[in-house]
Structure 1
């Protein structure tokens, strides 16, 4: 068995050594082979990246001459992979100690008809990044639409499946994962396991997931939502109407943070008798000035009014 680990890297020379070390630290007397495909996505620190990875013989480096965005980098790595199984690891995250044995346990429980497995994660403090840390079972297309078993997971694919499907590349710097995963879920159920493989460093300065309330990232998230509604609006309305309305409200907030016009139309479309508290809270956020709006959103996320992960 061969595992391919895809590591997209954009200006990540300062963090990728810890990522690669976390992979290599447990590669002793394991029952399978590992390859790591690092994709330099047009970084400004390409020379430093080469130095950072030179001590890891299992790494192959693929270079984008210009920055193409996270999904493009993932797809480049996936197409270059050879593994029976393929996973995606950010260049500022790490595998947990003893991860190969955990992976083998995952594979032993993973139903053959599921082409993708979600492995639960923890953050830097050891706290779960998923809503149901003990859940083990299937995730259907309808579950994904309804945001059931939500959170931040590590995706592990069967190699032949992901090399055929690939991620939906919208040309954005950030990932628009939900669009890709809905397309994947149309093909097959996912498997969710509580076995943890990844430490998700979401609070590190400059991390992939940081700065989500900056104008630039908010604009990209708004574009992601536009694509989501374009492709899956009918399914949301049919199978997950409440989630459809709350997503419209989030879309309005991202347009506001991104300094984009047209915030009130999606707000109105987000009205639902089942989501009145969210509807009114969003209105309050939208009328606030910059100095109040961003701290209010961060507070709402911290106390759980807005989801922190997923």
Structure 2
């Protein structure tokens, strides 16, 4: 059986960008399934673009406006493929993105999600040096791109994306939920994902609410943020920490985590 990756593209009034996202999905070097979820767009120009996509044979599913997490969940429910990529309508993936990440998932059964290094473009043009995977570091900061490829099984186990998180960090919540269930992530160093930076991007919006969103995550994932949870992750990852990086690890991760636990 040919393994397939489903690429889910939610869209709300992003008609000026979505054709680029769709093209990058169609240009993958392995077989993929593409589903566009129109999350109740109201912009006439966007609706026209979505209609044009339909005439080209692309599956466009329309729902009332319920937010990005809901649109992602809707798209995933419309497919049975074992691997999922959620790609926002304003971003782009390289042709080898799916095949490169899929190779990791197929050879490492304990890996639940795989992400690549990111190129930021649009209002900025820079290399985003995503870090190698560390569950401990993920407690402090969401350094994993939302477009990481994950197993459908992970999505099923965590209950999908939290549809209450309408203002961002729903991907961070998803990765933490996966870790709670024993999954780990994996970083591919190639620059295969392109994140468009512009004034209306979700990241710009979520940064304004960073403090309250982090509090919500700490409450929801208390088992990870507790002293016992941190100790378990430290034991799991201790063998991965090179001696030369020990001091940096202590100062940049362990010390901030200790302070966080003291405030919780």
TM-score by length of 2: 0.73
Any gaps of 5 or more consecutive residues in structure 2? 231-253
> Which runs of structure 2 are paired with 1:51-62 in the superposition (5 Å)?
51-54=51-54, 56-57=56-57, 59-62=58-61
| SS of 2:114 mapped into structure 1 | strand
Structure 2: distance between partners of 1:171 and 1:146: 18
Deviation string 1:247-298 (CA, Å, 9 cap, x unpaired) is: 99xxxxxxxxxxxxxxxxxxxx59xxxxxxxxxxxxxxxxxxxxxxxxxxxx
Which runs of 4 or more aligned residues in structure 1 lie more than 6 Å from their structure 2 counterparts after TM superposition?
none
> Structure 1 170/113 Cα, relative in aligned 2: closer, same or farther at 3 Å?
same
TM-score by length of 1: 0.63
Tell me which residue corresponds to 1:225: 214
> Which runs of structure 2 are paired with 1:55-204 in the superposition (5 Å)?
56-57=56-57, 59-65=58-64, 67-99=65-97, 101-103=99-101, 105-107=103-105, 110-124=107-121, 127-132=126-131, 135=132, 139-140=134-135, 142-147=136-141, 150-152=143-145, 154-165=147-158, 166-187=160-181, 188-201=183-196, 203-204=197-198
RMSD: 3.1
Structure 2: distance between partners of 1:54 and 1:129: 34
Say how many residue pairs are matched: 231
Larger relative contact order (Cα-Cα within 8 Å, sequence gap ≥ 6) = 2
Bigger radius of gyration, 1 or 2? 1
CA-CA distance at 1:139 after TM superposition: 3.7
Tell me if structure 2 keeps the 8 A contact 1:16–1:92: yes
| SS of 1:157 mapped into structure 2 | strand
CA-CA distance at 1:10 after TM superposition: 0.9
